[in-house]
A and B are shown apart, each in its own frame.
Chain A
Amino acid sequence: MNTLRQLFPTGLRVRLVITFTLVAVAASALVASMGYELAKNALTKRTEDVAVTSVVTVLERITVPLGSLWPGELPPTAQDLEELRSSLGGSGRQVVMEYADNVYGAGTLTIENVPNELRARAAWRLVTQRVRVGDNLWLLIGTQVQRTARDGEVQPTGLKVFVFVSLEEEQRLLNELRSSLATAGGITLLIALTGALFSARRVLLPVRRLRDAARALGAGHLNTRLPVRGRDELAELTATFNETAAALEKSVTELRTLEAIARRFVADVSHELRTPLTAMTAVTELLLEEAERLPDAPAEAVRLVVHEVERLRVLVEQLIETSKFDSGAATLSLETVNVAEVVFDSLEVRGWTDTVKLDVPSEMTFNLDPRRFDVIVANLVGNAHRHGAPPIELHVRETPNGLELKVRDHGDGIPPEALGRVFDRFFKSKSVGSGLGLPIARSNAQLHGGTISVRVQKPGTLFTVWLPRT
């Protein structure tokens, strides 16, 4: 199938040009060959008529007695016959005569050049035939001279006349005609090719414009429109394209508006939640201290409220962070830092220095956003604490084009069906955590131009972050 396609070009332009040219050439070849045949026949007929008429005229005027002589007549002399022969000749003609076993001829052509079949037929009537001798074409007229007797009876005289009329001039004319026809054919071919290319262009230009426009539309330029020219099918197609693009733009705009409203709503809600949370958070420590003096049940209730306030606080923080990424408001502020120090601080402030096995080159510096890097480390290590099991290992190393951070735990690992979804928002394999930590870690890595990936280990899970050197 493919090889067939390669053998026969399938491009619209090529097909149009080939078809157009084939039709034009076939038509002009047909016209030319018909014209040539007609011209050739007319020319031949005219030459033949003129030659035959001139031969017949000469023969009718013969006065010398021939055949069976009438009383008082003398047989023709050789000179008589020679005179007759020369009167039949002329430029471009050669004459051969046969009379009473004698052959009279003077040119290059002899009786040998007269086909036997013609000689036989010429005994009864006037015949013509074209014969080729060497390179030359001749019209051969052959007849036997007849004589009307006194009693009116027509008798053959035995004088056979063969006139070779040269067709050289006709040949030349026909050759000229052929070459003019060939030239005309060539010109026709050129005109056909030009026309084909031109009309292919006229068809293909709108097609190409449509293709480019469709491509632009696909690339997200939803305001792409094309001018509609003319009233043909391509113009119709262009108009349809414009309508489709307009409809698409409209629905995408609507969707985007709805999405922006939804996003804005999440952001607004999160912001609004902050004020009551601030009041609650401010008094949690006070409550916890007082709880120690309360009976068991209310103390438990207070601790639960405090715990949930903390959870709510983290959730709202993460929602706000997420909505910042969504609205494109997240910015990167890069600084050259000592990676080991940043990682250590991140663990220390969360009390994880004893639970995490660190492997970080002490002198490694890297250009990154320390606050965002801290979020990545905190989310990955926090995740390992919540979902995995010790030992938790954290490795940092410098790669030729960036920084690689690996966080590995030795827990049960993520179930295979959940592996593809761990970076989805609110995806939780267990009902702990907000389900926003890993998506936020990924957004932070991506903001650096980096990547984050997860792999199942035996046992445990390995998260790998890569940040490019800037």
Chain B
Amino acid sequence: MLRKRELNFWERIYLPEIIRGVAITSRHFFVNLFFHSAHRLGLFKGKLAAVTFQYPEQTRPLASRSRTRHRLTVREEGTPRCVGCMLCETVCPAKCITIVAGEHPDPNVEKYPVRFDIDLGVCVYCGYCVEVCPEDAIRMDTEILDIAAYSRDAMKLDLHELMDPKLRKPVAECKLKFPHQCKIHGNQTRGSWKAVYGEQTCAAGSLEPQD
């Protein structure tokens, strides 16, 4: 326990201590003022006058483990690595993940997400989804921090943005080839496996549900 120290006479009359405090702050003031002025004149460039980062121009280096906006890792042929096991949806404490699974033509993959949404307006960035993913399909390493939008709807990411973190809203063009619920086209199903694998491969290994 920190005991309260008895103040001596000079400390008790307060005035010298005030002067001491003012001296410290003034020293910072004048030293910084000097360096700021010197920078204007092109001098002492190596010595910083402020410890802050001037954010949009200058970004703070991120820790390698810091959790930033999500992304879905992608297979070589451009389909998501995700198999739609919904473990992230299950573990998500904020319930911000929405997955609808579909049938993948390759029986060794079997399942993939037809729809994968993350509502960043709800997400708490706990990183459990990354932790729980058995396929290394979701990561939070995009280093995108400036997540802001003018509407709640614009805070919702879908497959397009998750698979290509470079995309920002509004996404105008759908570049995903595999069948998915396309937000850009009003939640219609877009894409086909033939566009991904070519006619033959698809015909040979196709196991699309026969309804």
Is B a genuine binding partner of A?
Answer: no
